Amino acid sequence: MIEETAFPIHLGTPQVADACARLGISLRLGPRGMRPLKMEMRCAGRALPLCYDGAAESFFEALERSAKGDILVLDNDGRLDQSCMGDVMASELRGAGLGGLVIWGVHRDSEALVKMGWPIFSLGTNPYAMAGDRVDAAYSPTARCGSVAVSANDFVICDCDGVIFIDVEEKARVIDVATSIAERESMLISSLEAGSTLRRQLGYDDFLRHRTANPSLRFSEYVKDRYKGN
């Protein structure tokens, strides 16, 4: 059993993406264009994958294997011609304790869903929803979200900048590095607001002196060396 590490709510997908790059972890992003119902919506939790088949029963079955705070990742193959989520089922999912919903597809009942305030991310809206048929449907332990294969071993982070999937086993060290990045960014912004320039904080004048002796030195390399280990 993997020990759970709480995800700090102040961390965003930009810091997580930068942390993955620093750690050499392949970046697994949801499709471009996936957005929350409201800009301020965000959520993070273990992925609960579900391939959409149009039947309410499949959602109920997914809830039977869910845990509080899970994020349902609903795979409708990126279809835009039919919605796969509305206000009634969203109310059921929220009431069951799920932490949010990521839809590789579109939703409907937008006004009611916005009032609900539950985090939902999708590719857009369509008022039409086609009933499904479960005759040939079978449970799959994985789902897709764009080009990303998602399983219950994934952790998903969502905000207005996008959706990122990471392996649950990588979560703790990604959080550690992302927290460090967020703290540094906060310090830089505080200093900027106090009147200090970014050039001064990053030692640009000192870099120019170093470059005089080493013309091939790049600023990115200088900054990386300057803040190594921080």
pLDDT tens sequence across 116-148? 999 999 999 999 997 665 455 566 789 999 999
Pull the structure tokens for residue 142. 């994985």
- The whole-number average pLDDT for the span 165-177 is 96
**What's the rounded Cα separation, in Å, for the pair 159 and 103?**
14
Q: Which residue type sits at 171? A: K
> Do β-strands 162-167 and 148-151 pair in parallel, antiparallel, or remain unpaired?
unpaired
List, in order, residues 6 or more apart from 180 with CB less than 8 Å away.
230
Angle at CA 92, nearest 5°, toward 87 and 94?
Answer: 90
86 phi and psi, to 5 degrees? -135, -175
Q: What is the pLDDT of residue 130?
A: 76
List, in order, residues 6 or more apart from 162 with CB less than 8 Å away.
13, 29, 30, 32, 34
Average pLDDT score, the chain: 92
- The whole-number average pLDDT for the span 157-183 is 96
Q: What is the pLDDT of residue 2?
A: 43
159 phi and psi, to 5 degrees? -155, -170
Q: Which candidate, 2, 28, 41, places its Cα nearest to that of 163?
A: 28
Q: What is the pLDDT of residue 1?
A: 37
Residue 170 clears pLDDT 50, i.e. is over it = yes
**What's the rounded Cα separation, in Å, for the pair 17 and 9?**
15
- Domains in the chain: ranges and CATH: 13-169 (3.50.30.40), 175-226 (no CATH)
- The whole-number average pLDDT for the span 192-196 is 95
pLDDT in tens, 22-62: 999 999 999 999 999 999 999 999 999 999 988 888 999 99
